[in-house]
Amino acid sequence: MKNFEQFIGSFSFDGRLAEIDIIVSIAHVKMLVKTRIINSYEGKKIVAGLASILKDLKKGWKIPKEEDIHFAVEKELIRRIGAVGGKMHTARSRNDQVATDLRLYIKDAAKTIENLLKDFQKILVKKANDNIDVIMPGFTHLQPAQPILAAHYLLAYVHMFQRDKERLEDCYKRVDFLPLGSAALAGTSFKIDRLYTAKFLGFKNISENSLDGVSDRDFAIEFVFCMSVISLHLTRFCEEIILWMNPEFGYISINDKFTSGSSIMPQKRNPDCAEVIRGKSGRIFGDLTALFTIVKSLPLAYNRDLQEDKPPVFDAFDNIKMCLEVMNDMIASLKFVKENTLKGTEKGFIAATEIADYLARNNVPFRTAHSIVRDIVLYCKRHSKNLSGLSICEFKKFSPIFKKDIFKYLNAKHIVDMKISYGSTSKKSIVKQIENIKRKLK
Ligand code: ARG
Protein backbone atom coordinates (compact mmCIF):
# COMPACT_ATOMS: atom_id res chain seq x y z
CA MET A 1 0.00 0.00 0.00
CA LYS A 2 1.64 3.17 -1.21
CA ASN A 3 -0.88 5.70 -0.18
CA PHE A 4 -1.37 4.98 3.50
CA GLU A 5 -2.50 8.53 4.22
CA GLN A 6 -5.25 8.27 1.66
CA PHE A 7 -6.31 4.97 3.20
CA ILE A 8 -6.76 6.33 6.73
CA GLY A 9 -8.09 9.64 5.48
CA SER A 10 -11.61 10.70 4.57
CA PHE A 11 -10.89 13.40 2.03
CA SER A 12 -12.30 11.32 -0.81
CA PHE A 13 -15.76 11.51 0.72
CA ASP A 14 -15.93 14.32 3.28
CA GLY A 15 -15.29 17.10 0.78
CA ARG A 16 -18.96 17.87 0.72
CA LEU A 17 -18.65 19.09 4.31
CA ALA A 18 -16.20 21.81 3.21
CA GLU A 19 -18.56 24.78 3.39
CA ILE A 20 -20.14 23.60 6.62
CA ASP A 21 -16.69 23.01 8.11
CA ILE A 22 -15.70 26.60 7.35
CA ILE A 23 -18.90 28.02 8.85
CA VAL A 24 -18.31 25.94 11.98
CA SER A 25 -14.77 27.33 12.14
CA ILE A 26 -15.98 30.91 11.73
CA ALA A 27 -18.41 30.37 14.61
CA HIS A 28 -15.67 28.84 16.74
CA VAL A 29 -13.22 31.68 16.05
CA LYS A 30 -15.83 34.33 16.80
CA MET A 31 -16.45 32.57 20.10
CA LEU A 32 -12.70 32.51 20.82
CA VAL A 33 -12.60 36.27 20.25
CA LYS A 34 -15.67 36.88 22.37
CA THR A 35 -14.18 34.91 25.24
CA ARG A 36 -10.80 36.69 24.70
CA ILE A 37 -8.99 33.43 24.08
CA ILE A 38 -7.62 35.03 20.93
CA ASN A 39 -7.51 38.77 20.22
CA SER A 40 -9.91 40.43 17.85
CA TYR A 41 -7.22 41.43 15.34
CA GLU A 42 -6.21 37.80 14.92
CA GLY A 43 -9.84 36.72 14.97
CA LYS A 44 -10.71 39.08 12.13
CA LYS A 45 -7.77 37.88 10.09
CA ILE A 46 -8.78 34.25 10.51
CA VAL A 47 -12.43 34.89 9.74
CA ALA A 48 -11.49 36.88 6.61
CA GLY A 49 -9.19 34.05 5.53
CA LEU A 50 -11.94 31.48 6.05
CA ALA A 51 -14.41 33.68 4.20
CA SER A 52 -12.06 33.92 1.24
CA ILE A 53 -11.76 30.12 1.09
CA LEU A 54 -15.53 29.83 1.28
CA LYS A 55 -15.93 32.32 -1.55
CA ASP A 56 -13.49 30.42 -3.75
CA LEU A 57 -15.21 27.12 -3.00
CA LYS A 58 -18.53 28.58 -4.03
CA LYS A 59 -16.93 29.65 -7.31
CA GLY A 60 -15.96 26.03 -7.95
CA TRP A 61 -12.34 26.17 -6.82
CA LYS A 62 -11.09 22.84 -5.42
CA ILE A 63 -9.33 22.78 -2.07
CA PRO A 64 -5.98 20.89 -2.16
CA LYS A 65 -6.12 17.32 -0.88
CA GLU A 66 -5.22 16.50 2.73
CA GLU A 67 -6.00 13.65 5.08
CA ASP A 68 -9.47 15.05 5.65
CA ILE A 69 -11.49 18.18 5.00
CA HIS A 70 -10.66 19.68 8.43
CA PHE A 71 -6.91 19.51 7.78
CA ALA A 72 -7.45 20.74 4.24
CA VAL A 73 -9.23 23.89 5.42
CA GLU A 74 -6.70 24.56 8.17
CA LYS A 75 -3.69 24.12 5.89
CA GLU A 76 -5.25 26.32 3.22
CA LEU A 77 -5.97 28.97 5.83
CA ILE A 78 -2.36 28.96 6.99
CA ARG A 79 -1.23 29.17 3.37
CA ARG A 80 -3.37 32.25 2.94
CA ILE A 81 -2.85 34.17 6.22
CA GLY A 82 0.22 32.61 7.80
CA ALA A 83 0.85 30.81 11.09
CA VAL A 84 -1.85 32.79 12.91
CA GLY A 85 -4.33 30.55 11.10
CA GLY A 86 -3.20 27.78 13.44
CA LYS A 87 -4.90 29.58 16.35
CA MET A 88 -8.23 28.51 14.92
CA HIS A 89 -7.80 25.04 16.37
CA THR A 90 -7.52 26.28 19.96
CA ALA A 91 -9.94 24.58 22.37
CA ARG A 92 -11.33 22.08 19.90
CA SER A 93 -10.40 18.85 18.18
CA ARG A 94 -11.34 17.27 14.90
CA ASN A 95 -13.46 14.87 16.94
CA ASP A 96 -15.95 17.49 18.05
CA GLN A 97 -15.54 19.36 14.80
CA VAL A 98 -16.58 16.44 12.60
CA ALA A 99 -19.51 15.58 14.85
CA THR A 100 -20.66 19.20 14.59
CA ASP A 101 -20.26 19.27 10.81
CA LEU A 102 -22.23 16.09 10.36
CA ARG A 103 -25.04 17.29 12.61
CA LEU A 104 -25.33 20.51 10.64
CA TYR A 105 -25.32 18.57 7.41
CA ILE A 106 -28.08 16.27 8.63
CA LYS A 107 -30.19 19.16 9.93
CA ASP A 108 -30.22 20.62 6.45
CA ALA A 109 -30.73 17.25 4.78
CA ALA A 110 -33.71 16.50 7.03
CA LYS A 111 -35.38 19.77 6.01
CA THR A 112 -34.79 19.01 2.33
CA ILE A 113 -36.41 15.59 2.63
CA GLU A 114 -39.28 16.96 4.69
CA ASN A 115 -40.05 19.48 1.97
CA LEU A 116 -39.96 16.82 -0.73
CA LEU A 117 -42.31 14.65 1.33
CA LYS A 118 -44.68 17.55 1.72
CA ASP A 119 -44.66 18.20 -2.05
CA PHE A 120 -45.36 14.52 -2.59
CA GLN A 121 -48.30 14.59 -0.19
CA LYS A 122 -49.77 17.58 -1.97
CA ILE A 123 -49.52 15.80 -5.32
CA LEU A 124 -51.24 12.74 -3.84
CA VAL A 125 -54.03 14.79 -2.28
CA LYS A 126 -54.64 16.55 -5.58
CA LYS A 127 -54.71 13.20 -7.38
CA ALA A 128 -57.18 11.90 -4.82
CA ASN A 129 -59.38 14.94 -5.32
CA ASP A 130 -59.24 14.72 -9.11
CA ASN A 131 -60.18 11.03 -9.01
CA ILE A 132 -62.73 11.18 -6.25
CA ASP A 133 -65.27 9.05 -8.17
CA VAL A 134 -62.90 6.34 -9.35
CA ILE A 135 -63.75 2.96 -7.83
CA MET A 136 -61.22 0.14 -7.69
CA PRO A 137 -60.90 -3.18 -5.93
CA GLY A 138 -59.22 -3.13 -2.54
CA PHE A 139 -57.04 -6.14 -1.82
CA THR A 140 -55.90 -8.22 1.11
CA HIS A 141 -53.36 -10.97 0.41
CA LEU A 142 -53.44 -9.42 -3.10
CA GLN A 143 -56.84 -11.09 -3.57
CA PRO A 144 -59.89 -8.97 -4.44
CA ALA A 145 -61.48 -8.01 -1.12
CA GLN A 146 -63.89 -5.08 -1.22
CA PRO A 147 -64.40 -2.11 -3.53
CA ILE A 148 -62.77 1.14 -2.44
CA LEU A 149 -62.28 4.62 -3.84
CA ALA A 150 -58.96 5.16 -5.64
CA ALA A 151 -58.73 8.34 -3.57
CA HIS A 152 -58.84 6.24 -0.41
CA TYR A 153 -55.94 4.20 -1.72
CA LEU A 154 -53.86 7.29 -2.52
CA LEU A 155 -54.60 8.91 0.82
CA ALA A 156 -53.25 5.85 2.64
CA TYR A 157 -49.85 6.86 1.28
CA VAL A 158 -50.37 10.46 2.32
CA HIS A 159 -50.71 9.21 5.89
CA MET A 160 -47.59 7.05 5.62
CA PHE A 161 -45.57 9.97 4.37
CA GLN A 162 -47.06 12.16 7.09
CA ARG A 163 -45.60 9.77 9.67
CA ASP A 164 -42.30 9.82 7.81
CA LYS A 165 -42.27 13.61 8.06
CA GLU A 166 -43.11 13.54 11.74
CA ARG A 167 -40.44 10.90 12.33
CA LEU A 168 -37.90 13.21 10.69
CA GLU A 169 -39.05 16.14 12.79
CA ASP A 170 -38.59 14.04 15.88
CA CYS A 171 -35.15 12.89 14.74
CA TYR A 172 -34.26 16.54 14.11
CA LYS A 173 -34.78 17.31 17.80
CA ARG A 174 -31.97 14.94 18.74
CA VAL A 175 -29.70 16.11 15.93
CA ASP A 176 -30.08 19.67 17.14
CA PHE A 177 -27.33 19.44 19.81
CA LEU A 178 -23.96 21.12 19.43
CA PRO A 179 -21.03 18.87 20.41
CA LEU A 180 -18.36 21.49 19.65
CA GLY A 181 -16.42 22.30 22.80
CA SER A 182 -16.23 18.64 23.78
CA ALA A 183 -12.71 18.96 22.36
CA ALA A 184 -10.98 15.59 21.93
CA LEU A 185 -13.03 13.89 24.66
CA ALA A 186 -12.60 15.53 28.07
CA GLY A 187 -13.61 19.12 27.36
CA THR A 188 -11.12 21.95 27.56
CA SER A 189 -9.40 24.12 30.15
CA PHE A 190 -10.12 27.21 28.05
CA LYS A 191 -13.09 29.25 29.21
CA ILE A 192 -15.13 28.78 26.07
CA ASP A 193 -18.74 29.82 25.57
CA ARG A 194 -20.50 26.89 23.96
CA LEU A 195 -23.90 28.57 24.08
CA TYR A 196 -22.56 31.40 21.95
CA THR A 197 -21.32 28.94 19.31
CA ALA A 198 -24.60 27.03 19.43
CA LYS A 199 -26.58 30.20 18.87
CA PHE A 200 -24.31 31.31 16.03
CA LEU A 201 -24.72 27.97 14.25
CA GLY A 202 -28.45 27.68 14.94
CA PHE A 203 -28.28 24.73 17.34
CA LYS A 204 -31.06 24.60 19.89
CA ASN A 205 -29.04 22.75 22.55
CA ILE A 206 -25.50 21.85 23.52
CA SER A 207 -24.39 18.33 24.42
CA GLU A 208 -24.14 17.68 28.15
CA ASN A 209 -21.30 15.19 28.23
CA SER A 210 -18.11 15.62 26.22
CA LEU A 211 -17.44 11.87 25.93
CA ASP A 212 -20.90 11.34 24.52
CA GLY A 213 -20.57 14.50 22.42
CA VAL A 214 -17.71 13.11 20.32
CA SER A 215 -18.73 9.45 20.21
CA ASP A 216 -22.48 9.60 19.68
CA ARG A 217 -23.70 8.71 16.22
CA ASP A 218 -27.30 7.91 17.15
CA PHE A 219 -28.38 11.00 15.30
CA ALA A 220 -26.87 9.69 12.05
CA ILE A 221 -28.39 6.25 12.61
CA GLU A 222 -31.79 7.77 13.30
CA PHE A 223 -31.58 9.90 10.19
CA VAL A 224 -30.70 6.91 8.01
CA PHE A 225 -33.45 4.93 9.71
CA CYS A 226 -35.87 7.69 8.67
CA MET A 227 -34.53 7.40 5.12
CA SER A 228 -35.00 3.64 5.30
CA VAL A 229 -38.65 3.86 6.32
CA ILE A 230 -39.33 6.34 3.52
CA SER A 231 -37.64 3.93 1.15
CA LEU A 232 -39.71 1.07 2.53
CA HIS A 233 -42.93 3.02 1.92
CA LEU A 234 -41.79 3.89 -1.58
CA THR A 235 -41.19 0.20 -2.36
CA ARG A 236 -44.77 -0.62 -1.44
CA PHE A 237 -46.14 2.11 -3.65
CA CYS A 238 -43.80 1.25 -6.53
CA GLU A 239 -44.67 -2.42 -6.32
CA GLU A 240 -48.32 -1.47 -6.83
CA ILE A 241 -47.54 0.91 -9.68
CA ILE A 242 -45.73 -1.96 -11.37
CA LEU A 243 -48.67 -4.30 -10.80
CA TRP A 244 -51.39 -1.82 -11.77
CA MET A 245 -49.53 -1.08 -14.99
CA ASN A 246 -49.46 -4.74 -15.96
CA PRO A 247 -52.15 -5.33 -18.63
CA GLU A 248 -53.63 -8.05 -16.40
CA PHE A 249 -54.73 -5.17 -14.17
CA GLY A 250 -54.44 -2.16 -16.47
CA TYR A 251 -55.61 0.16 -13.70
CA ILE A 252 -53.20 3.01 -14.31
CA SER A 253 -50.91 4.63 -16.80
CA ILE A 254 -47.93 6.88 -16.18
CA ASN A 255 -46.09 9.18 -18.53
CA ASP A 256 -43.93 7.27 -20.99
CA LYS A 257 -40.82 9.07 -19.85
CA PHE A 258 -40.89 7.06 -16.61
CA THR A 259 -40.78 3.80 -18.55
CA SER A 260 -38.38 2.32 -21.04
CA GLY A 261 -38.59 0.00 -24.00
CA SER A 262 -37.02 -3.40 -24.40
CA SER A 263 -34.05 -3.92 -26.70
CA ILE A 264 -35.67 -7.02 -28.13
CA MET A 265 -39.43 -6.88 -27.53
CA PRO A 266 -40.83 -3.92 -29.47
CA GLN A 267 -44.18 -3.82 -27.68
CA LYS A 268 -42.81 -3.31 -24.17
CA ARG A 269 -43.04 -0.32 -21.86
CA ASN A 270 -41.29 -1.29 -18.66
CA PRO A 271 -41.87 0.60 -15.41
CA ASP A 272 -38.14 1.17 -14.83
CA CYS A 273 -38.40 4.23 -12.60
CA ALA A 274 -40.69 2.42 -10.18
CA GLU A 275 -38.39 -0.60 -10.28
CA VAL A 276 -35.27 1.47 -9.62
CA ILE A 277 -36.94 3.19 -6.67
CA ARG A 278 -37.94 -0.24 -5.35
CA GLY A 279 -34.40 -1.47 -5.88
CA LYS A 280 -32.78 1.54 -4.18
CA SER A 281 -34.16 0.23 -0.90
CA GLY A 282 -31.41 -2.40 -1.01
CA ARG A 283 -28.63 0.12 -0.68
CA ILE A 284 -30.52 2.37 1.70
CA PHE A 285 -31.25 -0.47 4.15
CA GLY A 286 -27.60 -1.40 3.60
CA ASP A 287 -26.56 2.09 4.70
CA LEU A 288 -28.47 1.59 7.94
CA THR A 289 -26.84 -1.78 8.53
CA ALA A 290 -23.43 -0.25 7.78
CA LEU A 291 -23.92 2.45 10.41
CA PHE A 292 -25.11 -0.02 13.03
CA THR A 293 -22.10 -2.20 12.36
CA ILE A 294 -19.62 0.68 12.44
CA VAL A 295 -20.80 1.90 15.84
CA LYS A 296 -21.33 -1.54 17.38
CA SER A 297 -18.92 -2.35 20.24
CA LEU A 298 -16.91 0.87 19.89
CA PRO A 299 -15.34 1.81 23.20
CA LEU A 300 -15.74 5.43 24.29
CA ALA A 301 -14.95 7.97 23.11
CA TYR A 302 -13.92 8.74 19.51
CA ASN A 303 -12.53 5.93 17.33
CA ARG A 304 -11.38 6.29 13.78
CA ASP A 305 -13.99 3.75 12.70
CA LEU A 306 -16.49 6.56 13.07
CA GLN A 307 -15.06 8.23 10.02
CA GLU A 308 -16.83 5.58 7.98
CA ASP A 309 -20.17 7.05 9.10
CA LYS A 310 -20.27 9.61 6.33
CA PRO A 311 -20.62 7.55 3.13
CA PRO A 312 -23.79 5.78 4.32
CA VAL A 313 -25.35 9.04 5.50
CA PHE A 314 -24.61 10.76 2.20
CA ASP A 315 -25.68 7.76 0.18
CA ALA A 316 -29.02 7.36 1.97
CA PHE A 317 -29.75 11.06 1.67
CA ASP A 318 -28.76 11.35 -2.01
CA ASN A 319 -30.78 8.34 -3.01
CA ILE A 320 -33.94 9.19 -1.08
CA LYS A 321 -33.75 12.72 -2.48
CA MET A 322 -33.53 11.36 -6.03
CA CYS A 323 -36.27 8.80 -5.41
CA LEU A 324 -38.66 11.43 -4.09
CA GLU A 325 -37.92 13.80 -6.93
CA VAL A 326 -38.65 11.10 -9.50
CA MET A 327 -41.65 9.81 -7.55
CA ASN A 328 -43.17 13.29 -7.37
CA ASP A 329 -43.04 13.71 -11.15
CA MET A 330 -44.09 10.15 -11.85
CA ILE A 331 -47.15 10.28 -9.60
CA ALA A 332 -48.11 13.69 -10.93
CA SER A 333 -48.40 11.98 -14.33
CA LEU A 334 -50.43 9.01 -13.03
CA LYS A 335 -53.82 8.42 -14.64
CA PHE A 336 -56.42 5.90 -13.54
CA VAL A 337 -58.11 3.86 -16.25
CA LYS A 338 -61.45 3.90 -14.53
CA GLU A 339 -63.20 1.40 -16.83
CA ASN A 340 -60.55 -1.14 -15.84
CA THR A 341 -60.56 -0.38 -12.13
CA LEU A 342 -64.35 -0.74 -12.18
CA LYS A 343 -64.09 -3.96 -14.15
CA GLY A 344 -61.68 -5.13 -11.47
CA THR A 345 -64.49 -4.86 -8.93
CA GLU A 346 -66.54 -7.36 -10.95
CA LYS A 347 -64.05 -10.12 -10.31
CA GLY A 348 -63.55 -12.13 -7.16
CA PHE A 349 -67.05 -11.85 -5.59
CA ILE A 350 -66.11 -8.53 -4.08
CA ALA A 351 -69.66 -7.89 -2.80
CA ALA A 352 -69.61 -10.95 -0.54
CA THR A 353 -68.99 -9.08 2.71
CA GLU A 354 -71.82 -6.71 1.90
CA ILE A 355 -74.23 -9.63 1.43
CA ALA A 356 -73.18 -11.08 4.77
CA ASP A 357 -73.70 -7.66 6.35
CA TYR A 358 -77.17 -7.52 4.73
CA LEU A 359 -78.11 -10.74 6.50
CA ALA A 360 -76.51 -9.59 9.73
CA ARG A 361 -78.52 -6.37 9.63
CA ASN A 362 -81.58 -8.61 9.34
CA ASN A 363 -80.74 -10.34 12.58
CA VAL A 364 -78.75 -13.34 11.27
CA PRO A 365 -75.66 -13.89 13.49
CA PHE A 366 -72.70 -12.72 11.45
CA ARG A 367 -70.94 -16.09 11.67
CA THR A 368 -74.02 -17.79 10.17
CA ALA A 369 -74.32 -15.09 7.51
CA HIS A 370 -70.65 -15.62 6.65
CA SER A 371 -71.20 -19.31 6.06
CA ILE A 372 -74.38 -18.73 3.97
CA VAL A 373 -72.49 -16.33 1.70
CA ARG A 374 -69.56 -18.71 1.46
CA ASP A 375 -72.02 -21.32 0.14
CA ILE A 376 -73.44 -18.79 -2.32
CA VAL A 377 -69.96 -18.08 -3.64
CA LEU A 378 -69.21 -21.80 -3.99
CA TYR A 379 -72.51 -22.19 -5.87
CA CYS A 380 -71.54 -19.32 -8.19
CA LYS A 381 -68.16 -20.86 -8.87
CA ARG A 382 -69.70 -24.21 -9.66
CA HIS A 383 -72.18 -22.65 -12.09
CA SER A 384 -69.73 -20.09 -13.50
CA LYS A 385 -71.88 -17.18 -12.40
CA ASN A 386 -71.10 -14.00 -10.60
CA LEU A 387 -73.17 -12.70 -7.71
CA SER A 388 -75.15 -10.23 -9.78
CA GLY A 389 -76.00 -13.05 -12.21
CA LEU A 390 -78.04 -14.87 -9.57
CA SER A 391 -81.83 -14.64 -9.55
CA ILE A 392 -83.78 -13.75 -6.44
CA CYS A 393 -85.00 -17.38 -6.32
CA GLU A 394 -81.44 -18.60 -6.22
CA PHE A 395 -80.65 -16.18 -3.39
CA LYS A 396 -83.73 -17.31 -1.49
CA LYS A 397 -82.58 -20.93 -1.72
CA PHE A 398 -79.75 -19.98 0.61
CA SER A 399 -81.85 -17.83 2.95
CA PRO A 400 -85.49 -16.71 2.91
CA ILE A 401 -84.35 -13.38 4.32
CA PHE A 402 -83.13 -12.16 0.93
CA LYS A 403 -85.48 -9.63 -0.71
CA LYS A 404 -85.25 -8.03 -4.13
CA ASP A 405 -83.33 -5.09 -2.68
CA ILE A 406 -80.30 -7.40 -2.32
CA PHE A 407 -79.29 -6.50 -5.88
CA LYS A 408 -78.64 -2.93 -4.80
CA TYR A 409 -75.96 -4.26 -2.46
CA LEU A 410 -74.08 -5.90 -5.28
CA ASN A 411 -73.24 -2.59 -6.89
CA ALA A 412 -69.69 -1.45 -6.21
CA LYS A 413 -70.56 2.23 -5.99
CA HIS A 414 -73.36 1.51 -3.55
CA ILE A 415 -71.08 -0.66 -1.44
CA VAL A 416 -68.51 2.13 -1.31
CA ASP A 417 -71.14 4.75 -0.43
CA MET A 418 -72.34 2.62 2.48
CA LYS A 419 -68.94 2.61 4.21
CA ILE A 420 -69.53 5.52 6.52
CA SER A 421 -67.43 4.65 9.59
CA TYR A 422 -64.69 7.14 10.47
CA GLY A 423 -61.71 6.66 8.15
CA SER A 424 -63.67 4.52 5.68
CA THR A 425 -63.92 4.58 1.91
CA SER A 426 -67.24 6.36 1.14
CA LYS A 427 -66.96 9.60 -0.77
CA LYS A 428 -68.29 11.41 2.28
CA SER A 429 -65.51 9.99 4.48
CA ILE A 430 -62.88 10.68 1.86
CA VAL A 431 -63.93 14.31 1.42
CA LYS A 432 -63.60 14.70 5.19
CA GLN A 433 -60.20 12.97 5.15
CA ILE A 434 -58.97 15.29 2.42
CA GLU A 435 -60.12 18.32 4.41
CA ASN A 436 -58.25 17.10 7.49
CA ILE A 437 -55.07 16.37 5.58
CA LYS A 438 -55.15 19.68 3.74
CA ARG A 439 -55.26 21.43 7.09
CA LYS A 440 -52.15 19.52 8.17
CA LEU A 441 -50.34 20.36 4.95
CA LYS A 442 -50.91 24.11 5.23
N1 ARG B 1 -11.73 12.49 9.41
C2 ARG B 1 -12.14 12.21 10.74
C3 ARG B 1 -13.61 11.70 10.74
O4 ARG B 1 -14.23 11.84 9.73
C5 ARG B 1 -12.04 13.42 11.59
C6 ARG B 1 -11.74 13.15 13.02
C7 ARG B 1 -10.40 12.55 13.16
N8 ARG B 1 -10.02 12.48 14.53
C9 ARG B 1 -8.93 11.81 14.93
N10 ARG B 1 -8.67 11.82 16.18
N11 ARG B 1 -8.16 11.19 14.09
O12 ARG B 1 -14.10 11.19 11.69
The domains of the chain are located at 4-90, 95-133+149-184+208-337, 344-441
Note the pLDDT of residue 267.
Answer: 85
81 CA distance to ligand 1 middle (Å): 24
pTM of the predicted model as reported, rounded to 2 decimal places: 0.96
Please tell me if the CB atom of residue 95 comes closer than 6 angstroms to any atom of ligand 1: yes
- State in Å: Cα 98 to ligand 1 middle: 7
103/106 Cα distance (integer angstroms) = 5
**Fold designation for 4-90:** Fumarase C; Chain B, domain 1 (1.10.275)
Best residue for ligand 1 mutational test, from 182, 291, 302, 304 (most atoms within 8 Å of Cβ) = 304
State in Å: Cα 21 to ligand 1 middle: 13
- Answer yes or no: is the C-beta of 98 below 6 A from any ligand 1 atom: yes
Which residues lie closer than 8 Å to 241 by C-beta, 6 or more apart? 252, 254, 271, 274, 330, 334
What is the C-alpha to C-alpha distance for residues 137 and 341, in angstroms, rounded to an integer? 7
Residue 197: other Cβ atoms inside 10 A: 25
Q: What does the alpha-carbon distance between residue 271 and residue 281 come to, in Å, rounded to a whole number?
A: 16
Q: What does each of the 442 residues of the chain score in pLDDT, given as a tens digit?
A: 668 888 999 999 999 999 999 999 999 999 999 999 999 999 999 999 999 999 999 999 999 999 999 999 999 999 999 999 999 999 999 999 999 999 999 999 999 999 999 999 999 999 999 999 999 999 999 999 999 999 999 999 999 999 999 999 999 999 999 999 999 999 999 999 999 999 999 999 999 999 999 999 999 999 999 999 999 999 999 999 999 999 999 999 999 999 988 888 888 889 999 999 999 999 999 999 999 999 999 999 999 999 999 999 999 999 999 999 999 999 999 999 999 999 999 999 999 999 999 999 999 999 999 999 999 999 999 999 999 999 999 999 999 999 999 999 999 999 999 999 999 999 999 999 999 999 999 8
Counting atoms of ligand 1 from 1, which one is nearest the CA of 14?
4
Cα 96 to Cα 53, 86, 109, 195, 240, distances in angstroms: 22, 17, 20, 15, 45
- CA distances, 18 to each of 50, 53, 152, 316 (Å): 11, 10, 46, 19
The pLDDT, as a whole number, for residue 1 is 61
Q: Which fold has domain 95-133+149-184+208-337?
A: Fumarase C; Chain A, domain 2 (1.20.200)
* Ligand 1 mean position, distance from CA 309 (Å): 11
Could you tell me which CATH number the domain at 344-441 has? 1.10.40.30
pLDDT at 6: 84
Q: What is the pLDDT of residue 266?
A: 83
Nearest alpha carbon, ligand 1 atom 2: 307
**Res 3: pLDDT:** 80
Q: Write out the catalytic residue numbers.
A: 141, 262
Whether 201 contacts 194, CB under 8 Å: no
148 class by beta-carbon count within 10 Å (0-12 exposed, 13-18 middle, 19+ buried): buried
CA angle 194, 311, 272 (to 5 degrees): 135
The ligand 1 atom at the shortest distance from the C-alpha of residue 68 is: 1
